[in-house]
Every structure is written in C-alpha cells, then in structure tokens.
Amino acid sequence: MTDVLIMVFGLIVIFISIMAHEVAHGSVALALGDSTARDEGRLTLNPLKHIDPFGTIILPLFLALIPGNSVIIGWAKPVPINFNNITDKKFGALKVSLAGPLSNFVLATVFALIIRFVPALNPEMNFIFTIIIFYNLILGIFNLIPIPPLDGSHILFDLLPQGQTLETIKGFLYQYGVFILIFVLFIFPRLDWIYGLTEKIFSLLTGQPLTLSF
C-alpha cells in the first residue's frame, strides 16, 4: 500500500470519524430533550451536512501534505444544540460536550479489541484497523484541547465555577479561540505530543506497538 493510498484512506477515516463525532453530540442532546440537530437534518452521516470548509477540508489536507507528518486532525461543522431544551440542567451540557470525544474513543476501543483478541486477523485488516484506531484516538485527544471551537473548551467551562470572570474568559475565547487554535496549529503543525500520547494508548489497548506502515 503506497503512501498516497495510506494518506487517502486516512483522510476518509478522519472524515467519517468526524461525522460520527458530531452525530454523537446531537444524539445525546436529543436523548436529553433537545431535537434541534434532528430537526435541522444533522443527525445523519451525509457528509455534505457536516462539512466545515477549514476544519474538514483545508486543515486536514494541509497537514497531510507536510513532509514527515503523521498527525492529521480536523473538525466538522458543529451540530446545532439549544441547551435551554436540555432536561438535565446540571450535567446535560457536560454530557453533550463529552459525547463527541467519547464516540471517537469508543470506536478506537472496539477496533483495538478486535486486534487484541482476534489472533487470525490478516495483516491487511490489522493495518486498516490500526489506521481507524489511530485517527480516532487523535481526534478524541485533539478535541479535548480547551480552546474553542473544540469540545475541551465546553467541558472545561462546564466544570469551572460559574461567575463573571469565567464569562469574560469565555467571551474572549469564543471570539478569538479559532484564531488562537489556527496559530498554534501552524506554529506546531506536527503536534508530536498528541502522537506520543496516541502511541501509548494504542499500545495499551491493542497490546501491540503502533506501526503506520504496511
């Protein structure tokens, strides 16, 4: 399998995983009483409904074309959620925020357990599952970074004591967070710390070292 095919397959995996991530947000919101995502047709795996021009197309392609870079990340257009409709006023927002990263970690874990407990898995399937695990772990970890529009910011804001100081910080980050994130990604495009953490989790789940070659 050539490097180009690996890159193309990786981009496909990322795109599907990002969609699953957003659908997870909307599905948990629906379960908690808010049907906004469903009403606006966002509880679907139709890719056209989830494309964010920068986060879904430009950024992943940019990272894929960096020589020697093995970490490709991105995000989709956030699903619309009206938190006023959420029935769980105490933990509802936190549950919705956690749903996206957890969906990626669950997908990674399922395929990791197959690698770990199916000894007859052929090398081709082992490699395909490795790519799926790798990118879902990358997406899950990346989305926990506490900078808007990533889920980590919402999780952090939900956990911190509410007050005027927090509202001021939230206002600033919601306004400029995406620019801060883009700056960080362009200054440190390889994100080696994410790769290192992903490598450790991969080995823990599968019992094998992470190998991104075939």
Question: Active-site positions?
Answer: 22
Q: Which residues, including other chains, have CB under 8 Å from residue 66's CB and lie 6 or more apart?
A: 189, 190
The structure tokens listed for 85 are 């409709």
46: left (phi over 0), alpha (psi -120 to 50) or beta: beta
- The answer to whether 161 and 95 are in contact (CB under 8 A) is no
CA-to-CA dists, residue 93 to 26, 27, 184, 188, angstroms: 12, 13, 27, 31
Helix (H) or strand (E) holding 185: helix 164-187
